[in-house]
Structure 1
Amino acid sequence: MSATEATELPALFPFAAIAGQPALRQALLLAAIDPRIGGVLVEGPRGTAKSTAARALAELIPAAPFVTLPLGASLAHVAGTLDLQQALAGHAVRFAPGLLARAHGGVLYVDEINLLPDALVDVLLDAAASGVNAVERDGISHRHAARFVLVGTMNPEEGALRPQLLDRLGLCVRLANVADPAERQAIVRARLQFEADPAAFRTRHAAAQAALAERLAMARARVLGPEALPWSDAVLQAAGALCVQAEVDGVRADLVLLRAARALAAWQGDAEVTPAHVQAVAELALVHRRKPGVAAPAPSSAPAPAPATPPAAPPPQAHVGESTAQGRGDAVSDWGAMPAEPVGTVRLAVPDLLPAGTRAAAKKA
């Protein structure tokens, strides 16, 4: 990209200035610290800063590309395929990289991920979990690194993902509309200030943005370096107990929960992972995996580690689908299942089968 093209790109809203969505900020930062978590699924209505936060996250990672997957993308466009021009010109079989190769080291943003074909979502999730994209088709046998932060967004009103695909997405944030008037005013005011003068707005948040980027780099080094933060048997037991209580399938939830807890510990600068870290990130890892009808556990009496700066603990509104009374959460968690609904009683007319004479005598009595 030339300098002229770069200056024409619109300014990005800084991550440090995003307000009103603490759970979203936390989940994105944790996934950026350890991409092996498997990405973040963001569910919520329109206008809840889903795409704004994803774009801002890429800016915190040095030299990180931000790649958007279009809804109509083909499998060849995403994973890569045979370079036909090279094959026709030089009679050589060469690999033409796709979007997964371009997203390596950065953020891959997938809007309306629930509307993509399942086969395409499988490829995305395989690469996000393994960090490698393998292509075996069209005469091509090729593997390349594809370590990126997958951010998928969806509006539950437009359809749901199958449980098999939900389980393979690392963390999940269920956003709600901001109901507090003062908080809404602060969000709108910040957005209007940014649109009026993006450069001045970014300058005001430059120090906080630089601090976030530096802290993120330090946390990534602690997690992805040769000496990762240790965890004790108590941490493993805490994660296992929460997963058993949620009645999840398999052990993928345990692994995601442990990695997210370690990422939080690294973000906070702690020397080791503790059960408190597991409790703090449990809902992000389990809300989309919990079996329908299984209630979320009550908050632990032990105080969770509170970071001085974001991320913050998920707010109560992120706990959607805690019981069968919350229909939307159940519909997302179990493909084809429908929540129980109260049914009113109806007075039925009972046919009169008594003879006329008997009925008159019964009335006189």
Structure 2
Amino acid sequence: MFNPESFIEEVKPQILNEIGDEKILAAISGGVDSTTAAVLMYKILGKQLLPIMIDTGFLRKNEAKKVKEMLTGILPLQILDKSDEFITRLEGISDAEEKRKKFREIFYSTLSNIAKENGIKYLVQGTIAADWVETQGGIKTQHNVLVQLGINTEKEWGFKVIEPLADLYKDEVRALARYLGLPKEISERQPFPGPGLLIRVVGKLTKEKLDIEREVNEIVEDRLKGMEYSQYFSVIIDSQKVLDERISTEAKVPVYIYDTRATGVKGDVRSYGKIASIPEIDDYEKVREIVQRITKYDVTHVGMLINEKDEGKYSVGIRAVITQDFMTADFAKISLDKLKEIACEIVKNNKEIKEVFYDVTSKPPATIEYE
């Protein structure tokens, strides 16, 4: 059983011994992990900590403002707007791993500049166990996993990385956040990846898709809030797809395959496979059986269509999962009426959205995020 008080008693002398009276930079993404790591360090080191949130352009709607307000009186957070630079340099990239690695390069170069300007030699970040396990296993490159991959951060960017939460899992991080006195809006906050909406605009990144995803994600998070799902969000992909007769025969329902690929995990290794869609079925156990037949092929994510129209060029996916440690997860059994209500609102608010599907794939063979 995780004990936050014992954890702090253990790490505090290690941090004080490592940092001494040096200043340290904290990188905050807006998620619970990085925020908890920063607040922990602030409790231990006080004004030696410089907490920074970089607006990469891939944050949720009004994210930076909301996080700063939530941390008022808790952490003296500074916001640095670098959105134009990030979006310009990443626009047009399609491959999931290429996106993550390019984001990492820009992100840490930016932090390196801040550190040098302030004479800082240390960086604290909210890497947790699930991050480095997935990266070392080759499933996906978590942008904040560096040391575990043998990257020399001092040589590369001029700072040493401190990761006080690296052996914790998400439920333990939340328990620590509550112990540190963080408000529920932070301790129970929806997990949000460092690259943010960059990896929820699945496939080729364009400014239009990014802007639509930002609006849609707010609808999904708002409508599923309070339903006690572990994580829920939206994704956007190009809607081009074709009927796969072979898989349809196996699944015994029409199965369409999109041009866009997504990351999955099969046999504990990375699988960069196809995204499929199936018709609406009012029986989740039957859906589960169909998905198992489909994912025998080169398919990592399966979406059940909830709303379709003739016009539009994008498909929106709703993702909601239940998990304890984020290493495995099951899709949430949301009522079709609720899904249709959300899908109707999404389609109504943007003419470019052709269809909405609900992701009915567990982890494995899917990953929770698509990229």
TM-score higher than 0.5:
no
Q: Which has the larger radius of gyration?
A: 1
* TM value normalised by structure 1: 0.23
* TM value normalised by structure 2: 0.23
